Amino acid sequence: MGEFLSRHKQGLYWIHIGLVVGAICVLAPWVRWSGGVMPSAWLALLVFILATVAFCQNIGLMHHCAHRLPSGPRWLGLTVARLLHALGGLSYTEARFAHGLHHAHLGTALDPDRLGYESTTTLSKRLRYLVLIGPLRARFAPVDTSPALNALPADRRSEHARLCRGDRRLLVLVHLALIAACGLYYPVLVAALLCANVLSNAREMAEHGSNGRGIYVDLRVSPLGALFFSTPGFWFHGIHHMDANIHYLDLPLAARDFAIRGNLPYLHRESTLGYLFTGR
């Protein structure tokens, strides 16, 4: 299976993107126009479940776009990356900048996600972050990139701000289009996005946190967990942190003989929810 994924990863990557965008941008409008003007409770539930899976997968695709754009012309890959982020309520430029810092400084004081590690060391703190912060962000804790931004030359800061403004305009346009297309089902999409963020936050806690430190973690998950806790390959997140150039569909194959390197702790966790409630 690993060899198949590796050989066909570019095509599978595009199919994955198409399924996610189709579920969000085609499914809900189709339900609206086929199910009548007023929402049906059963159809709304179906849309919520399918959209939650789609947004969970979208979070994974957004993450991968921070490292590798889809194959093809750069303008096409960049447009798709910005669209995926806009659907998820985020700016591609901001998310990519923060994620690059996270990879460069995992486990150090310069990691912009460090506050998250230090604030999820107990069950009550983990639940607080899921309930209070999870629904509002696609990360499990506040991400502070201001020191890195302030260290940039003035022209690069100005360019970064310009790109962020463009991303925010795209975000507004995308969601206005979804409101027009989905009508009264649009709140169902928003609820699904919030739910997907909470599930993603739980996964990120399991992938990174350990008594306030950043670590390398590989997760063992079920097929159901693969749907609701983001894209294939995320359970090899420790390997991904050691070599972010490995395509997410190549991670299962790379895990067979990958040599552990670096000075951070490396471990396997049995499940995301297990970590949420036990810290192990």
Q: What pLDDT, on the 0 to 100 scale, is given for residue 221?
A: 76
Residue 249 backbone dihedrals phi, psi, to 5 degrees: -80, -10
Q: What pLDDT, on the 0 to 100 scale, is given for residue 158?
A: 93
Summarised one tens digit per residue, pLDDT across range 82-133 is: 999 999 988 999 989 988 888 888 877 778 777 667 777 888 888 877 776 6
Q: What pLDDT, on the 0 to 100 scale, is given for residue 140?
A: 43
Summarised one tens digit per residue, pLDDT across range 134-165 is: 555 544 445 678 888 888 899 999 999 999 99
Q: What is the reported pTM?
A: 0.88
DSSP the chain: -HHHHHHTHHHHHHHHHHHHHHIIIIIHHHHHHHS-SSPPHHHHHHHHHHHHHHHHHHHHHHHHHTT-PPSS-HHHHHHHHHHHHHHTT--HHHHHHHHHHHHHTTTSTT-TTHHHHHT-SSHHHHHHIIIIIGGG-SSSS----HHHHHHS-HHHHHHHHHHHHHHHHHHHHHHHHHHHHHGGGHHHHHHHHHHHHHHHHHHHHHHHEETTEE-EEEE---HHHHHHT-STTGGGHHHHHH-TTS-TTTHHHHTTSPPP-SSS-EEEES-HHHHHHH--
Dihedral sign (CA 141, 146, 149, 151): negative
The segments of the chain whose pLDDT lies below 50 read: 138-141
